[in-house]
Amino acid sequence: LDTFMFAGHDTTTSCISFAAYHIARNPAVQQKLYDEMFQVLGPDFKNTQLTYSNLQELKYLEMTIKEVLRIHPSVPVIGRKSAHDMIIDGSKVPPGIDVAILIYAMHNNPAVFPEPTRFDPERFNEENSSKRHPYAYVPFSAGARNCIGQKYALLEIKATLVKLLGHYRLGACDPANTVRIKTDMTLRPVNGTFVKIVER
């Protein structure tokens, strides 16, 4: 039960918090998100009944969430145990060895994601995504032991951001100030994330 509570709550709130931070600091992204929601969900989208179907149509919102999870993956490191002999970066790893996979480091690798600190949802458009190795981006892990709740989590994050941006315009408190992070079980801002909220 504890695992499900942690996996379903802390990780989702972490992503929503970082999403608000990045959207507030990138007015062009915020406007594009608003325009997409207006076009897909209608002019009164803040009161629209959200469904699985209409949330799936918000492609730019999905790209934005992916970019948030690239820069600030909710779970920055995962552990696995080697099942058989493997070669990792030229080193032999025998069976039964604990292996730490540093998702945060992978997602901020400039060889894979140029200018990794720059927030750019277009990294996840169809063309750019097709050029990367499928395991270059793994915020929910991958393979047989990936996160069983990832689809639900993404729906929850999308619905929250639609309602947030439908009611409020977000602004950066201090555009020059970058959030400081610490690594626990989840990636967290040291002192929270601060944004200005103006009612639309």
Whether the Cβ atoms of residue 72 and residue 14 lie closer than 8 Å to each other = yes
**19-28, 43-52, 146-155, 160-169: which range is least confident on average?**
146-155
At 187 the three-state DSSP class reads strand
| Helix or strand (DSSP H, E) at 41 | helix 27-41
| Helix or strand (DSSP H, E) at 60 | helix 59-71
The string of DSSP letters for 121-184 reads GGGGSHHHHHTS-TTS--BTB-GGGS-TTHHHHHHHHHHHHHHHHHHEEEEES-TTPPPPEEES
CA–CA dist 169, 198 (Å, integer) = 5
Known binding-site residue numbers for heme? 147
Domain ranges, ordered by start, for the chain: 2-76+103-199
104 versus 76: the higher-pLDDT residue is 104
Residue for token pair 């099942």: 83
| pLDDT, tens digit, 9 for 90 and up, residues 92-147 | 989 998 888 888 888 999 999 999 999 999 999 999 988 888 778 877 656 555 55
CA–CA dist 170, 17 (Å, integer) = 12
pTM summary value: 0.85
Class of domain 2-76+103-199 (CATH, top level): mainly alpha
- The answer to whether residue 3 scores a pLDDT higher than 60 is no
- The answer to whether residue 40 scores a pLDDT higher than 80 is yes
Confidence of residue 12 (pLDDT cuts 50, 70, 90): confident
Known binding-site residue numbers? 147
Across the chain, what does the average pLDDT equal?
85
